[in-house]
Amino acid sequence: MTLHRGGRSRGLGDYPASVGNPLIMYFLESVLADIANQSGGSPYYLRNRIKEALLRDAQIMRVSLRHRNADIRARVVTIRPFRNDKARERMGRFSELALTVTVSEDIPGWYYSLAATVPAAAGGNEAGYSNAITFKATGEKP
């Protein structure tokens, strides 16, 4: 897997086909590292809360997307892993983290977009957080 950003690129590693699309793991681990570094929290604790939210708290919406000049069916899956967490108060702004994944069987690799967002504090000086990856087909404009 290679990350292309602007005119630069770097290798992210080799992954066996048996694990499926490695993009989701790369994305989640990047978000976990960001949040752990910025909040001072344990990446293990954060990872476990995300796993739990995937099993019980996912919100799923059916949507239509435009992809390669065609309308396709997709699902938007959103979790808020710290909404009901016992340590919510200690998480600061990251207690509002939303992870949103848009998937479709009509997209190679299944993932259309992955996004992690935290809103900026109302009236505060802290910026929000955003990390997103969106699939673009070869030749498609960003």
pLDDT in tens, 27-81: 888 899 998 998 888 889 999 988 888 888 789 999 999 888 889 999 999 999 9
Residue 2 covered by a domain: no
Pairwise CA distance, residues 107 & 68, whole Å: 10
17 falls in which pLDDT band (50, 70, 90)? low
108 falls in which pLDDT band (50, 70, 90)? confident
If 0-12 CB within 10 Å is exposed, 13-18 middle and 19+ buried, where does residue 49 land?
buried
Contact present, 95 and 103 (Cβ < 8 Å): no
Residue 6 covered by a domain: no
pTM: 0.82
**Range(s) of the domain holding residue 54:** 21-136
Write out the two tokens for 71. 């309308």
Residue 142 covered by a domain: no
Write out the two tokens for 90. 């200690």
| Nearest CA among 40, 49, 60 for reference residue 82 | 49
The total of structural domains in the chain comes to 1
The conformational region for residue 53 under phi > 0 = left, psi -120 to 50 = alpha, else beta, is alpha
**How much of the chain exceeds pLDDT 90, in percent?**
31
> What residues does 79 pair with on adjacent strands?
99
- Region 2-31: mean pLDDT is 79
> What residues does 30 pair with on adjacent strands?
none
pLDDT for residue 2: 75
- Region 110-131: mean pLDDT is 82
Residue 14 covered by a domain: no
Residue 1 covered by a domain: no
- Region 4-31: mean pLDDT is 79
Residue 127 covered by a domain: yes
Residue 52 covered by a domain: yes
Pairwise CA distance, residues 124 & 121, whole Å: 5
Q: Residue 119 pLDDT > 90, yes or no?
A: no
Residue 71 covered by a domain: yes
